[in-house]
Amino acid sequence: MLAPSSARYAAALGDDALVLAQRLCEWATRAPAIEEDVALMNVALDLLGQARALLSYAGELEGAGRTEDDLAFLRDEGDFRNCQLVELPNGDFATTMARQLLFSAYQYELYTALSASRDERISAVAAKAVKEVTYHRQHAAGWVVRLGDGTDESHARAQAALEAVWPFAGELFEPAADADLVQKGIACDPAALRPPWISYVTSVLAEATLEIPTTTWAPTGGRHGLHTEAFGYLLAEMQHLHRAHPGATW
């Protein structure tokens, strides 16, 4: 359902955070070091908190009685409005860090802008989240620089990782909200986020001695419910327990 445009917008932002949190949780016990296990799980928890706040609000705006759990666990693949970048498989550690750099740099600009939203709930979520994603961005940047400016092997893997995820970044700057929400000052124009995003990402990649990919391939469709093959498997794992035991409580 999610008929009101404001509900769809809150859900799209919440879906981004929810799906990436699920992906990062796949690194539990598999990260290169115990400290990195903890760091990635903390990032995932931050994203999950953002998702809960935004999906709860989307349910309220929808007015159909659906909760955050309903929206997370009982929607089908085509009903999710997350960008495709966050659903990409983790790949090796370099791929995860490249994806994290591109997305957290975007989230930083997004939440900075939404802190001034005329919707008090969205501005409150954004004001808290921008503090969290400041760390997410720094953490990812640190690893990209370490890998890119490290050994020949780590440099090659970091460049390959960047080449793999870069095409999906374009979708971040496509409209996630109806034009009326931008005009009312509730949502922000994602196209306006691209200049500061590219400035930051370019500076990190320069320090990492990595080249910005030149591909013109730009997959899209996540905001309209079109997802990669990998998303179906992620969703099945994430939703299995809730669907297998509907109504179960702890």
Binned average pLDDT, 10 residues per bin, the chain of 250 residues: 82 98 96 94 98 98 95 97 98 98 98 98 98 98 98 98 98 94 96 98 98 94 97 97 85
pLDDT, residue 3, reads 58
pLDDT, residue 116, reads 98
- Residue 225: DSSP 8-state: T
pLDDT, residue 175, reads 92
Residue 20 CA to residue 173 CA, distance in Å, equals 17
pLDDT, residue 139, reads 98
Fold of 5-211+227-244: Ferritin (1.20.1260)
SS3 assignment, position 96: helix
Q: Minimal CA–CA distance to 107: which of 50, 53, 69?
A: 50
Rounded to 5 degrees, φ, ψ at 208 are -85, 0
Alpha-carbon separation of residue 170 from 160, 161, 197, 218 (angstroms)? 18, 16, 11, 6
Residue 107 CA to residue 212 CA, distance in Å, equals 20
Q: Residue 152's Cα: distance from chain center in Å? A: 30
The encoded tokens of residue 64 equal: 């159909």
Residue 29 CA to residue 36 CA, distance in Å, equals 9
pLDDT, residue 2, reads 59
pLDDT, residue 21, reads 98
